[in-house]
Chain A
Amino acid sequence: MGAGATCIRLEKNVDRIAARYGMHAEITIMPRHVHLSLWDTDSADCVTAIASVAKCPISFNVNTRLSELSWEIADGKTDFTQARAVLEGIDSFDRQSEWLLLCLVPAANAAFCGLFGGDAIAMFIVAIATLAGYYLKQSMLRRGIDLRVTVFACAFVSAVLGATDILFSFGDTPAVALGTSVLYLVPGIPFLNSFSDVLYRHYICALGRFADALVLTCCLSAGLCAAMLLMGTGMF
């Protein structure tokens, strides 16, 4: 859940594991907690557990490995003890190389600038602005600073650097450079997850995820607006 799985994926995985052990599972997914009730299909015995959602970064690698594990259990390829060992081996906090991210994310945001019609100079400025902002994001999160404060600060720094294209008239598309310099901070996966949850009628969880994504978008917009005011570029 914390790693960014959709509610329908969670339900399917839990159901197939429970079915393997002759159980029936009912799962209630709330934004910060998960309730799981298990019934023995041969008797009326029922066990309910409530757990908090782990605060971990989004990781499709973790989602993929958990999904694989659920099928291995369902198909009888892994017994309970082995499954437990595999589960404990799946690190919710698996990290990408920070240096790799510092190369890929600026390149991606520069490409994004190109998609919005930015010229080569705008793309270069966006890459530099993203590099600085993303480095700051990594440093602040490593120090345990609140994500919302981090997003505000990173958006501010990236937008100030992005605004240099307007201030010094380097290229022909300065507005695109400024506008796209903060786009790497948009919480795309939580937005997509929330709408996906709506389609499967997990409204409460969807609302929670949407609110989280909206708050982060407001923080990045506030950082951008503050930078625009400081640099005197005018707002929109």
Chain B
Amino acid sequence: MNLNKQTKASSWQYLLIGIFIFYMLLPIVSTYVFSVATRWDRTILPEGYTVSYYIQAFKASYFISSLRNSFILSIATVLVGLVLIVPTVYWVHVRIPYTKPLLDVLMILPFGIPTVVLALALVQVYNFAPLARSPVLLIGAVVIYSMPFMYRPVSNAIQAIDVVTLTEAGQSLGANTFQLLRRVIIPNILTGIWSGSLLVFATVFAEFTLTKLIVGARFKTFPMLLVEYTRINGNTAAAFSVISFTIAWLASLLILWVGSKGQVPYQKAIGAR
């Protein structure tokens, strides 16, 4: 058998990949079907279909406000993350490259801190008004937690464009640091920025632990509403789940689309260099 030349997948591959796809899709597909099924516990396929759970879901108290809260939290996190991370990554690459290992460590650190531990630490330290258990504290926590998702694409994009040469070229044409960032650097790493932002948006939109533990019921987000309903009403919870999946799918698709769009001019720029 030749390892490199396989024109057809073998049966063990079909079996393994088949099981994998089945396992990955079954829970998701079932939830979609469950959210429109009248009754689905006696037959292989549902006995009937309805949209009434969605109507219930839309009418649920907190539906609008929790969606709004989730959007506020996600967008605020993206914005704070952008302002904090993009200039820092740029600065480290161009001015103080010897500190890059430190930046890498800082960016992997959140992976090593369980979210509950971060929540506990923050709640203990900031136990005074107005920060205590406030949405502002939550944004701080969520920015830390989602930092690696922003850092990786932005850092990859900056590494791909030879930022030092671009900066020198810009400087020799008389641009200051702010003009450089706005006119030269950011337009060239836009793909990375978009990927990072969408990734952070999707992650934070689904965030439950920090929100639940830091602010609790006073700032109800969409995942909190979903968890609440899993215990009250399964059908409505299914409708919420579907909405949540759909937002995640959309974000993933956008990330893929941005990634594929960015690829072409990117490669061209590298070729031209």
A, B bound: no
Residues of A at under 8 Å CB distance from B? none
